[in-house]
Amino acid sequence: MSVTPLQALPIDELRQRTSTKWQKYPQDILPFFVAEMDYPLAPAITAALTRAVQLGDTGYTPPEPGIREAFVAFAQRRFDWTVDPATVFWTGDVMMGVVEILRAVTSPGDRVVVTTPVYPPFFDTVEEAGAVVERVPLARSEAGWELDLLGIEAALAGGARAVLLCNPHNPTGTVHTSQSLAALADVAARFGAVVISDEIHGPLAHGDVPFTPFLAVSDAARRVGYTVTSASKTYNFAGLKCAVMIGGGAEQAKVLRALPWEVEWRTGLFGALANNAAFAPESDAWLDSLLAALDENRRLLAELLAEHLPEAVYRIPDAGFLAWVDVSAYGWGDNPATELRRKARVAFHHGPLFGDEGKGHVRINFACSPDLLREAIERVGALVAP
């Protein structure tokens, strides 16, 4: 059965938003940098938040906000992943959860593997926890990117104590295969290391490679692993604070339960309400419609780049709404986003922030109308047109 793609809001409405995407730069600059989407909220989320405002329901988040039950049901329905409710906890956002788990499972000065190029806050989060970043870049092949398992093994053999995994991967959009994840779990188990998997882009997998939650891949993964995720990326409410932390088993649940009480209290009430509405079955049709729109746009971007920037290198992502594009052939320097913002009046994300592998790259957010995406690439293409 075909699904009607979700329609982005008109640009004049979007410019009334007060979030980072629409306020950071002047109005003559088209924003494609931060991971906010241009679509209307899922109706169930709008209804839940509207009712809360009407009731003046703006107090503290209750001890049992329904987050556990909503996530467990969603994981079963969308991922065929059976989650033990006793292993589920919550906090304000994914990076909060990551840093608190890292503090609990590592000691100051311990090394933590990150797989570059990677979401820039990974570097800061490891350091905030008192640990040290050890970079093991993704391996690149004709098929795309994958975990460098030999490199990770060498890092763990050399004393690294944890792996901070991005699954699906930001910025490349790679969905790590179940075989790769299982191998990672085996390596971590062999060296007594911990794997913390950021899976905020999991619901946005397009189906080319099936998304496998790390904790669902094997017994070894459950023995070594934690997952931190949120509905906020998929359903576009990053400003409402709520994330879910899942332990692989009883031992990990014990660690999560022992985190400072403030970790849970950082969860916002509106974040919890939005989370529960997003993870409810009523929002499944909206998600399917969103995925249809993103699928069209990730393919449209390939066509636009081929037409206007034929020397750009772009692999259609397996998941999400972020494109990792190598434009180094055009000589715009290590950080082309700066040059393109100045000359084309288009704001992409800065490639080098994701690691040295990001030099000459930009990250493009394509969760927008096709017309807006087309205008952005045409503006950039005009810089190199004969």
**For the residues of 331-374, what is the DSSP string, one character each?**
---S-HHHHHHHHH-EEEEEGGGG-GGGTTEEEEE--S-HHHHH
Pair (297, 275) in one structural domain: no
Same domain, 64 and 213: yes
pLDDT for position 141: 82
Count: domains in the chain? 2
Whole-number pLDDT of residue 175: 97
Q: Is residue 5 part of a domain?
A: no
* Cα–Cα dist 45/277, whole Å: 5
The SS3 assignment for 169 reads coil
Q: Are residues 275 and 301 in the same domain?
A: no
Q: Is 203 among the domain residues?
A: yes
Instruction: Give the domain extent around 372.
Output: 11-41+283-382
Q: Identify the band that residue 385 occupies on the pLDDT scale cut at 50, 70 and 90.
A: confident
The confidence score (pLDDT) of residue 161 equals 98
- Average pLDDT (190-213) is 96
Residue where the block lists tokens 């409810």? 280
Q: Do 323 and 233 have their domain in common?
A: no
pTM of the model: 0.97
Q: How far is CA 55 from the centre of its chain?
A: 32
**CA dihedral (118, 120, 126, 131) positive or negative:** positive
Residues 140, 235 within the same domain: yes
Specify the 3-state DSSP secondary structure of 227.
Answer: strand
Residue 142: what pLDDT?
81
- Distance, in Å, from the CA atom of 364 to the CA atom of 127, rounded to the nearest integer, reads 27
Q: Is residue 373 part of a domain?
A: yes
pLDDT greater at residue 78 or residue 141: 78
CA geometry: angle 127, 361, 175, nearest 5 deg? 70
Confidence of residue 269 (pLDDT cuts 50, 70, 90): very high
Average pLDDT over all residues of the chain: 97
Residue that is last in its domain, among 282, 316, 351: 282
Is 199 a residue whose pLDDT tops 70? yes
What integer is the mean pLDDT of 118-126? Answer: 98
Residue 322: the pLDDT is 98
The pLDDT of 75-81, averaged and rounded, is: 98
Tell me: the pLDDT tens digits for 27-50? 999 999 999 999 999 999 999 999
pLDDT tens digits along 253-266:
999 999 999 999 99
Tell whether 231 and 302 lie within a shared domain. no
Asked whether residue 76 carries a pLDDT value surpassing 80, the answer given is yes
Same domain, 307 and 275: no
Q: Are residues 289 and 278 in the same domain?
A: no
- CA 99 to chain centroid: 16
CB-CB contact of 222 with 215 (8 Å): yes
Domain boundary among 249, 282, 315: 282
Domain identity same for 276 and 289? no
| pLDDT for 1 beyond 70 | no
In a domain, 4, yes or no: no
Domain boundary among 225, 250, 282: 282
Q: Are residues 139 and 181 in the same domain?
A: yes
The one-letter code for the residue type at 170 is N
Residue 2 lies in a domain: no
Q: Does some domain include residue 232?
A: yes
Give residue-wise pLDDT tens across range 209-232. Answer: 899 999 999 999 999 999 999 999
Same domain, 225 and 340: no
Asked, as a colleague might, if the bond just before 168 is cis with ω within 30 of 0, I would say: yes
Q: What is the mean pLDDT of residues 64-69?
A: 98
Q: Are residues 265 and 293 in the same domain?
A: no
Q: What integer is the mean pLDDT of 179-196?
A: 98
Tell me, what's the pLDDT at 92? 98
CATH number at residue 324: 3.90.1150.10
Of the candidates 228, 241, 240, the residue with the CA atom closest to the CA atom of residue 99: 228
Give the per-residue pLDDT at 16.
97
- Residue 1 inside a domain? The answer is no
Cα Rg for the chain, rounded, in angstroms?
Answer: 20
User: Any idea which residue has 């989650």 for tokens?
Assistant: 83
CATH number where 52 lies: 3.40.640.10
**What share of the chain in percent tops pLDDT 70?**
100
Starting at the edge strand that comes first in sequence, how are the strands of the sheet with 30-32 ordered? 30-32, 346-350, 361-365, 322-326, 313-314
Average pLDDT over residues 160-173: 98
Q: What is the token pair recorded at 273?
A: 């309400």
**Given this model, what pLDDT does residue 2 score?**
85
